[in-house]
Chains A and B, each alone.
Chain A
Amino acid sequence: MRALIAAVTGLALAFALVLALTELGTPTGETSPKPLLTTVPPHP
């Protein structure tokens, strides 16, 4: 019984961690102030 509880705890923690990370996502950031280029840049 205790083994089963330990296994379920591990599983629940894994789900909680992954769900929290995906829910957090990645920041969207801001639109770059750099213009659409009409000159040839010297290098990338």
Chain B
Amino acid sequence: MHRRAALILLALAVFFAALSPLTRWYAFPRLAKIPADQYQDMVLVAKDATLLDYGTMTEREVPEVTIVQTLKGNVEASEKIERTTDRDVVVWDGLSYVQGPDGEMVSKIPERYIFDAHTQEPVHARGEMVDGDPVRREGLEFKWPFLTEPRDYAYFDAQARITAPIHYKGTRDFRGVEVYYFEQTIPWTEVPFPRTMPVEGITRETVAKTGTTRWYTTVRKFWVEPVTGAPVYGEEIHKEELRGGTLLGDREKVTAFAGHVKMREDYIDHTVDLVSSQRVVVLLMTSYLPWGFLGLGVLLLALALCVEARGRAADGPGTGEAVTSEPVTA
């Protein structure tokens, strides 16, 4: 009886001990992924910003510019790409909609971001674009990988369509959450005009004919929760100028937009809550379960050895083998 119990305990001990590394290094990389059907929106606000009045081509101070950013997982598109890539793919159709203080549209830039659901590495497939222009992204955009490391990453800038380093600047506390702070500076760079302009009749092509060019610089800041790789907060010090050409008359340049863009307060609270709950799920797979299983395995092994030892002691010396004496017949 004791021996049987000891064997069952041993089997369970090996079962849980094996589950520990399997959960962390086999199951986690395969199960942790961004869902293909995710839908999320974000509102960012720039207070006391400078905005170009396209009617008069003069800059004006406005109390507030709002940026509404939506990301919508396109399940059909991701399944189509998965058939040819042998990877779990997420396709995000995004829209950055910029609204002026009177509710008028300032710009709207759609984009399609295709990436590996597990690693967040970009996947190159037909349809990858920013504002209708085909792009080939390198590096991250919007989200860092699970278990983000405290180091520099490459980050894709959708305005300039370039990838540049985003530097790790230290570990900080953001509203009770330990985060990695990253910062990227894009120096003054010539960028294309948006396809949708705020004034009807003005298009990217008509502006190009005037010789006026659009320039942009930004300092991008992200506070990233490292377990999930999700930014809990973001800011951008963003400046845009129009330079040269007949559109500006005798002026050399004019500010198209200048503002310190920050996440709206209610979205910060919502994001921190969401990321904190997701963090527990990731930690379950990477820490709580593996260590729990290992501890349980060791405990069960100790129990198995104990039961086996007690069984042997109960049997006593010489009782292990039953000797039967038979009458000897001569």
Q: How far is the CA of A40 from the CA of B105 in the complex (A)?
A: 11
Contact B94 A36 (CB under 8 A): yes
- The digit string for A3-39, where 1 denotes a CB below 8 A from any CB of B, is 1001111110111011001100110111110111111
The answer to the question of B18 belonging to the interface, with a C-beta cut-off of 8 Å to chain A, is yes
Tell me the complex Cα distance, A32–B75, Å.
9
- The verdict on A31 contacting B27 (CB below 8 Å), with A7-B14, A15-B18 known, is no
Interface string of B1-44 (1 = CB under 8 A from A): 00100011011111110110011001100110101110101010
A32 contact from B8, B31, B73, B267, Cβ within 8 A: B73
| A18 and B23 contact, Cβ closer than 8 Å, known pairs A30-B37, A37-B41 | yes
Instruction: State which of B3, B11, B27, B73 has its C-beta within 8 Å of the C-beta of A22.
Output: B27
Q: Is B212 at the interface (CB under 8 A from chain A)? A: no
Residue of A nearest to B308 (CB): A3
A24 to B234, CA, bound (A): 36
A residues less than 8 Å from B214 (CB atoms): none
Q: Give B contacts to A, CB under 8 Å.
A: 3, 7-8, 10-16, 18-19, 22-23, 26-27, 30-31, 33, 35-37, 39, 41, 43, 66, 68, 70, 72-76, 78-79, 93-95, 97, 99, 105, 108, 110, 266-267, 270-271
Q: Interface on A for B, CB 8 Å cutoff?
A: 2-3, 6-11, 13-15, 17-18, 21-22, 25-26, 28-32, 34-41, 43-44
Between A and B, 16 residue pairs with Cβ closer than 8 Å are A7-B14, A10-B11, A11-B14, A11-B18, A13-B15, A15-B18, A18-B27, A22-B27, A25-B31, A26-B35, A28-B35, A29-B36, A31-B75, A32-B73, A34-B72, A36-B94
